Amino acid sequence: MSSSRFVVTGGAGFIGSHLVERLLADGHLVCVIDDLSTGSLANLEAVRCHPGLEMVQSKVSARPGLAGDLRGARGVFHLAAAVGVELVVREPIRTIRTNLDETLALLEAAAAAGTPALLASTSEVYGKSAQAVFAETDDLLIGPPHLGRWSYACSKLMDEFLAMAYAAERGLPVTIARLFNTVGPRQSGRYGMVLPRFIDAARQGRPLMVHGDGSQTRCFCHVADTVEALVRLMGCPAARSQVFNIGGAEEISIRGLADLVRSVLRSSSVVELVPYDQAYAPGFEDMRRRKPCVEKLERYTGFRPRIPLRRIIELTASPA
């Protein structure tokens, strides 16, 4: 991309801050809109004084003149959202309102300004589906509403429907990226993210707490690979009105991940299994497997995440 101006909502968050650094390094101007409810200015410390950075502390939905912020921008990356399983389980109203209200405000402003939008969604929208590998055209199976665990998946899926509705009815150029377990430096374990929790415990010699029986499998993607994919998708006109998976292909059980973290960090910590009912709430349901098909991403952008898991753990454990 040639030098341009971009807006990043949630730009003080984990993924957002890495994206902001990348855009500034590429010579672009960046406006960050973040209410700092889960993000932190510390995440942007390396670029705090960068002349190309504008910081706006506000909820997207509460920002006066949001369309004016977007007007003339080459694109807006919408990363503002509720994050983490613990927050989802403990504050379901906040989860649903944050995801729906902020996305609706963003799409309305982007449509008014004529600014292309990239919506960060999640692999959670695949829900309880038992596919061995998840593709963007798969049917989605969400759990029942009395289990609050599914409120996040449902609200993010509604975000996707909203985005596609604005594309169809208002002509908004919009792309949807479903992220699969993005990890890396500056990610916090505060809201239940598994890899930073494991790394912190291993460093301190505390038990690595594995929820359930540990046989559930996931694929992890380093934030640098996620950011590369997001940037390429924003720069790909053919990706408009399309959904793309972004994630690694190296599948590992959560118990295996705990053991690998112990090995990489040479930790003497033990692994303990914690029942879901104790870790979250009675009736909590987890997905047994979550592996993305990223062939479509590579076909459209020429890129697929490639950083191997052992190296991801090393990089995540390193200082930001």
Please write down the HEC assignment for all residues of 120-146: EEEHHHHECCCCCCECCCCCCECCCCC
The sign of the dihedral angle between the CA atoms of 195, 305, 5, 156 is negative
- Chain-centroid distance of CA 213 in Å reads 25
Residues 6+ apart with CB under 8 A from 69: 7, 31, 33, 56, 63, 109
Using alpha carbons only, give the angle 155, 69, 99 rounded to the nearest 5 degrees. Answer: 10
Where helices occur in the chain by DSSP H, the ranges are 14-25, 66-70, 85-90, 92-113, 151-170, 194-204, 223-234, 254-264, 276-279, 295-301, 309-317
Q: Which residues are catalytic?
A: 152
CA-only gyration radius of the chain, Å: 19
Question: Alpha-carbon distance 272 to 88, whole Å?
Answer: 23
Query: Helix, strand, or coil here: 60?
Result: helix
Whether the CB-CB separation of 143 and 201 falls below 8 Å is answered with no
Using alpha carbons only, give the angle 48, 49, 53 rounded to the nearest 5 degrees. Answer: 75
Tokens of 117: 């939008």
User: Residue written as tokens 């379901």?
Assistant: 92
- Residue 37's Cβ-side half-sphere holds a number of Cα atoms within 13 Å equal to 16
Phi, psi at residue 238, to the nearest 5°?
-70, -15
How many angstroms separate the Cα of 307 from the Cα of each of 96, 184, 226, 283, 304? 33, 11, 10, 35, 10
